[in-house]
């Protein structure tokens, strides 16, 4: 930005001498007035020369994917290098995403928020935006999910004019928070608890990171080597994108490029609306979800030492003109925990899920964002009215919060006849294993294990779900190599294998989860968290299918593992069915945690201690009594299903052969299914009768404290939701929970 003193006029770095703020304001005004991106009525370039238009897109997309695939090799972190927890995107000068790479594309819109923040705060004047500058951001309240996801942004200049921005993001191993790990919790607030936060700062000049920033980062986190290499990963990728864009501009001409990026976003918006009409059914869809926060007896901060529950009352409205409105009206209040979520990550989650369902193609950009609307009640966990909330593990609420959107879309896909697209939701991506302390090299360190990338998927309407392969936040789930995790974590893998009974039951079952049994190795000072759902199940279930299982905690401290190994005695390689726990049967320990408390603060572990990390299975679809007997038999013999549940859930009468293989007695099983159907008729109560009984229970408030607390909070925050609750149960107007 420069000033002509004789005229008193400000010349910006934007197009035709405008400031970025002027460009952003114009863009927003045109959208407000016309409902179209930059007011574009016709996509002239696309219409005049569609081949050229597509070629330009392919060049940009290719440049972004190439940047990602090349840059990740700079990183030393398995989270980035093996699991691909990074992505890159290209933006307009105003910060609207034009195109993106593969990877954790949840961040495409969060980076957009960060660019707009810089523009609104007039970074053009101070600290200035110049060629070669590098900006960093990991502030969720500005534009991010949580501070573990670190952005790098660089401006792309051409002949003195800002053409746009390149942005990249990676997930870090540790963020220097009060407690170790990238998503640790237990602190009451963002400051000082959440650790190293870079709120959209200039961190480099002349295409290099500032030494002062590097030193500061080094001093601020527990795994500085990984942090700094990831910084270089993102910067290298951004520079590659800049070079690709400049090459393209020189070949195609700058005016064509400018026209293209406007049209690409408007095309994205129009495509989304058309896709909604092509795939969905207009109407209203309800799909709430819940997850517990059982912190009453956990040694977390005193403000959060209570049991509470998260309420995500997701409601999707698909309008007659293709409007896509997602509302969380009724969400309960934010808390002094780290699971709060700013609006930016809510948009990111919506975005990443749409790209895996409604718009699963490479031509996705902020046009889709412009075609959707999110209602996030102010003061709730998804739009806190307190700037200092902790957000290190926003995902704990965000993941279950959105699972209902998949079920809602699937109802529409099914009604529309596109049954191959149906999915019964997804599970939470847990157990999240993280921690730190003195590692196996004798140095203070921290880690976050990303096996969470590999949960079971929801069942489809035409087949079973897939096992241990997916996370809602990364379309390219990968559990990573055991050896890579053992290198950065002072815990050996005693085993990693399928976990029985994790998949949600149904005509089509969900994909199964897995478990890893870890043994602390070469350290007596390791602090580990358990994080996930234990008292609740998540991920729903569709058309009569059940949700996948909950998780549980099974950890053993002060074990006799050293003795078992020394004497070559059997030791566990997993836990299997907890009713016949392998760990309990083979190992003795001074302290055993074997319960449903699956979300805990960290505990201290010593060498030879055992830690079970169990990943979840996906939800099922359809009445389990309609599952093919051959499929039940296969699940039994693959170790996915316990014999007891084959009978009680699927009505299968089974016999085990001498070879150990299970066989279903079809005739006896058909009779048993008839018997179960008869029982259903006997035990089922007309809903309206049951409601009368349930109403009395509510009036007596015969519900545990954390659930009442959740209802009370939602009713206080939203008169609309309070009215809905009171109307449904026919409660007095003044009814409120104590």
Q: Which residues 6+ apart lie within 8 Å of 112 measured at CB?
A: 91, 95, 96, 97, 143, 366, 369
Q: Exactly one of 126, 687, 732, 733 binds other proteins (CB under 8 A); which one? A: 687
Distance of CA 20 to the CA centre of its chain: 32
Binding to other proteins, residues 594-623 (CB under 8 A): 594-596, 622-623
Q: Is 707 an interacting residue with respect to other proteins (CB under 8 A)?
A: yes
State the nearest-atom distance from the C-beta of 716 to other proteins, in Å: 16
Complete DSSP assignment for 579-631: GG-HHHHH--EEEEEEES--S---EEE-TT-EEEEEPPPPPPBS-GGGS-HHH
Q: Is 128 an interacting residue with respect to other proteins (CB under 8 A)?
A: no
State the nearest-atom distance from the C-beta of 606 to other proteins, in Å: 25
What CA–CA distance (Å, rounded) separates 108 from 348? Answer: 7
Q: Is 498 an interacting residue with respect to other proteins (CB under 8 A)?
A: no
Nearer to other proteins, 450 or 546 (CB): 546
Q: Which of 600, 549, 541, 503 is nearest to 292 (CA)?
A: 600
Nearer to other proteins, 141 or 514 (CB): 514
Distance of CA 48 to the CA centre of its chain: 40
Q: Is 411 an interacting residue with respect to other proteins (CB under 8 A)?
A: yes
Rama region for 649: left / alpha / beta (φ>0; ψ in -120 to 50; rest): alpha
Are 245 and 163 a contacting pair, CB within 8 Å? Answer: yes
Q: Exactly one of 160, 417, 657, 732 binds other proteins (CB under 8 A); which one? A: 417
Q: Is 678 an interacting residue with respect to other proteins (CB under 8 A)?
A: yes
Nearer to other proteins, 157 or 402 (CB): 402
Question: Is 287 buried (19+), middle (13-18) or exposed (0-12) by CB count in 10 A?
Answer: buried
Nearer to other proteins, 32 or 683 (CB): 683
Helix/strand/coil for 9: strand
What CA–CA distance (Å, rounded) separates 149 from 137? Answer: 9
Nearer to other proteins, 436 or 534 (CB): 534
Interface size with other proteins, residues (CB under 8 A): 95
State the nearest-atom distance from the C-beta of 728 to other proteins, in Å: 4
Q: Is 627 an interacting residue with respect to other proteins (CB under 8 A)?
A: no
Distance of CA 636 to the CA centre of its chain: 31
Q: Exactly one of 421, 489, 582, 633 binds other proteins (CB under 8 A); which one? A: 421
Nearer to other proteins, 76 or 279 (CB): 279
What CA–CA distance (Å, rounded) separates 309 from 306? Answer: 10
Q: Is 362 an interacting residue with respect to other proteins (CB under 8 A)?
A: no
What CA–CA distance (Å, rounded) separates 583 from 612? Answer: 9
Scanning 77-85, 108-116, 199-207, 679-687 for contacts with other proteins by CB under 8 A, the matching segment is 679-687
Are 98 and 258 a contacting pair, CB within 8 Å? Answer: no
Q: Is 381 an interacting residue with respect to other proteins (CB under 8 A)?
A: no
State the nearest-atom distance from the C-beta of 111 to other proteins, in Å: 28
Nearer to other proteins, 475 or 490 (CB): 475
Q: Is 511 an interacting residue with respect to other proteins (CB under 8 A)?
A: no
State the nearest-atom distance from the C-beta of 578 to other proteins, in Å: 5
Q: Exactly one of 60, 287, 398, 632 binds other proteins (CB under 8 A); which one? A: 287
Q: Is 703 an interacting residue with respect to other proteins (CB under 8 A)?
A: yes
Helix/strand/coil for 180: coil
Q: Is 356 an interacting residue with respect to other proteins (CB under 8 A)?
A: no
Q: Is 301 an interacting residue with respect to other proteins (CB under 8 A)?
A: no
Q: Is 285 an interacting residue with respect to other proteins (CB under 8 A)?
A: yes
State the nearest-atom distance from the C-beta of 485 to other proteins, in Å: 25
State the nearest-atom distance from the C-beta of 672 to other proteins, in Å: 13
State the nearest-atom distance from the C-beta of 520 to other proteins, in Å: 23
Residue 492 DSSP symbol: E
Show the DSSP H helices in 144-253 as ranges. Answer: 211-220, 224-252
State the nearest-atom distance from the C-beta of 254 to other proteins, in Å: 34
Q: Exactly one of 8, 657, 660, 684 binds other proteins (CB under 8 A); which one? A: 684
Nearer to other proteins, 247 or 644 (CB): 644
**Bridge-partner residues for 663, per DSSP?**
655
Helix/strand/coil for 26: helix
Pairing of strands 9-11, 2-4: antiparallel
The first and second tokens of residue 242, run together, are 């800049």
Q: Is 125 an interacting residue with respect to other proteins (CB under 8 A)?
A: no
Nearer to other proteins, 30 or 691 (CB): 691
Scanning 346-354, 426-434, 504-512, 555-563 for contacts with other proteins by CB under 8 A, the matching segment is 504-512
Helix/strand/coil for 310: strand
Binding to other proteins, residues 6-25 (CB under 8 A): none
Q: Is 732 an interacting residue with respect to other proteins (CB under 8 A)?
A: no
Show the DSSP H helices in 385-494 as ranges. Answer: 395-416, 482-488
Q: Is 639 an interacting residue with respect to other proteins (CB under 8 A)?
A: no
Residue appearing with tokens 């060049």: 59
The first and second tokens of residue 331, run together, are 């969400």
Q: Is 683 an interacting residue with respect to other proteins (CB under 8 A)?
A: yes
Nearer to other proteins, 118 or 625 (CB): 625
What CA–CA distance (Å, rounded) separates 29 from 269? Answer: 17
Question: Would you say how long the chain is, in residues?
Answer: 738
State the nearest-atom distance from the C-beta of 266 to other proteins, in Å: 21
Q: Exactly one of 327, 391, 530, 549 binds other proteins (CB under 8 A); which one? A: 549
Q: Is 399 an interacting residue with respect to other proteins (CB under 8 A)?
A: no
Scanning 126-134, 162-170, 237-245, 502-510 for contacts with other proteins by CB under 8 A, the matching segment is 502-510
Helix/strand/coil for 379: coil
Q: Exactly one of 256, 279, 374, 484 binds other proteins (CB under 8 A); which one? A: 279
Nearer to other proteins, 244 or 542 (CB): 542
The first and second tokens of residue 338, run together, are 């780290």
Q: Is 643 an interacting residue with respect to other proteins (CB under 8 A)?
A: no
Q: Is 572 an interacting residue with respect to other proteins (CB under 8 A)?
A: no
Q: Is 624 an interacting residue with respect to other proteins (CB under 8 A)?
A: yes
Buried b (16+ CB within 10 A) or exposed e, 189-201: bbeebbbbbbbbb
Q: How far is CA 725 from CA 312, 512, 536, 733, 734, in A?
A: 14, 35, 21, 10, 12
Question: Is 420 buried (19+), middle (13-18) or exposed (0-12) by CB count in 10 A?
Answer: exposed
Nearer to other proteins, 343 or 578 (CB): 578
């Amino acid at each position: 930005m420069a000033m002509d003193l004789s005229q008193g006029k400000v010349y910006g770095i934007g197009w035709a001498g405008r400031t970025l703020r002027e460009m952003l304001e114009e863009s927003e005004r045109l959208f407000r007035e016309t409902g179209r991106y930059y007011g574009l009525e016709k996509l002239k370039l696309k219409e005049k020369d569609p081949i050229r238009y597509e070629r330009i897109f392919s060049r940009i997309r290719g440049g972004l994917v190439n940047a990602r695939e090349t840059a990740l090799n700079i990183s030393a972190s398995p989270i980035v290098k093996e699991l691909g927890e990074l992505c890159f995107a290209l933006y307009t000068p105003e910060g609207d995403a034009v195109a993106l790479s593969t990877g954790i594309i949840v961040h495409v819109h969060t980076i957009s928020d960060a660019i707009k923040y810089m523009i609104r705060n007039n970074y053009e004047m101070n600290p200035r935006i110049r060629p070669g500058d590098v900006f960093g951001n990991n502030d969720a309240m500005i534009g991010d999910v949580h501070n573990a996801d670190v952005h790098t942004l660089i401006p792309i200049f051409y002949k003195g004019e800002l053409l746009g921005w390149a942005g990249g993001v990676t997930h870090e191993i540790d963020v220097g928070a009060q407690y170790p790990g990238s998503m640790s919790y237990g602190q009451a607030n963002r400051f000082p608890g959440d650790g190293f936060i870079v709120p959209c700062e200039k961190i480099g000049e002349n295409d290099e990171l500032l030494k002062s920033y590097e030193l500061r980062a080094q001093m601020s986190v527990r795994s500085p080597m990984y942090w700094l290499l990831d910084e270089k990963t993102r910067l290298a990728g951004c520079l590659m994108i800049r070079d690709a864009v400049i090459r393209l501009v020189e070949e195609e001409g700058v005016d064509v490029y400018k026209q293209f990026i406007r049209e690409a976003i408007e095309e994205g918006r129009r495509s989304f609306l058309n896709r909604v009409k092509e795939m969905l059914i207009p109407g209203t869809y309800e799909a709430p979800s819940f997850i517990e926060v059982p912190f009453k007896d956990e040694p977390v901060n005193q403000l959060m030492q209570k049991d509470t529950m998260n309420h995500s009352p997701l409601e999707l409205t698909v309008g007659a003109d293709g409007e896509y409105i997602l509302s969380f009206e009724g969400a309960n209040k934010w808390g002094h925990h780290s699971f709060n979520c700013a609006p930016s990550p809510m948009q990111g989650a919506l975005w990443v899920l749409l790209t895996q369902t409604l718009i699963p193609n490479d031509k996705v950009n902020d046009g889709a964002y412009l075609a959707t609307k999110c209602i996030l009640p102010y003061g709730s966990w998804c739009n806190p009215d307190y700037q200092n909330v902790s957000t290190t593990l926003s995902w704990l609420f965000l993941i279950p919060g959105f699972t209902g959107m998949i079920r809602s879309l699937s109802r529409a896909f099914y009604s529309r006849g596109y049954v191959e697209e149906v999915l019964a939701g997804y599970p939470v991506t847990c157990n999240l294993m993280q921690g730190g302390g003195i590692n196996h090299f004798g140095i203070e360190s921290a880690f976050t294990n990303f096996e969470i990338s590999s949960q079971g998927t929801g069942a489809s309407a035409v087949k079973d779900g897939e096992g241990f392969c997916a996370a809602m936040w990364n379309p390219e789930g990968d559990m990573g190599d055991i050896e890579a995790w053992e290198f950065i974590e002072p815990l050996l893998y005693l085993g990693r294998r399928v976990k029985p009974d994790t998949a949600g039951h149904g005509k089509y079952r969900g994909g199964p989860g897995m478990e890893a049994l870890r043994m602390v190795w070469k350290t007596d000072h390791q602090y580990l968290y358990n994080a996930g759902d234990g008292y609740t199940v998540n991920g729903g279930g569709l058309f009569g299918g059940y949700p996948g299982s909950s998780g549980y905690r099974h950890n053993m401290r002060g074990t006799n593992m050293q003795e078992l190994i020394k004497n070559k005695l059997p030791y566990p390689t997993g836990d299997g069915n907890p009713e016949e726990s392998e760990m309990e049967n083979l190992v003795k320990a001074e302290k055993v945690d074997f319960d449903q408390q699956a979300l805990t603060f960290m505990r201290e572990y010593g060498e030879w201690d055992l830690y079970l990390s169990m990943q979840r299975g996906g939800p099922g679809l359809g009445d389990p009594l309609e599952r093919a007997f051959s499929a039940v038999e296969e699940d039994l013999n693959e170790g996915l299903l316990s014999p007891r549940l084959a009978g009680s859930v699927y009505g299968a009468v089974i016999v085990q052969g001498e070879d150990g293989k299970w066989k279903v007695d079809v005739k006896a099983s058909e009779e048993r299914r008839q018997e179960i159907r008869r029982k259903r008729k006997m035990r089922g109560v007309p809903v309206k009768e049951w409601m009368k009984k349930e109403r009395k229970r509510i009036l007596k408030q015969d519900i545990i404290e954390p659930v009442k607390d959740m209802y009370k909070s939602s009713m206080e925050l939203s008169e609309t939701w309070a009215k809905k609750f009171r109307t449904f149960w026919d409660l007095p107007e003044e009814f409120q929970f104590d």
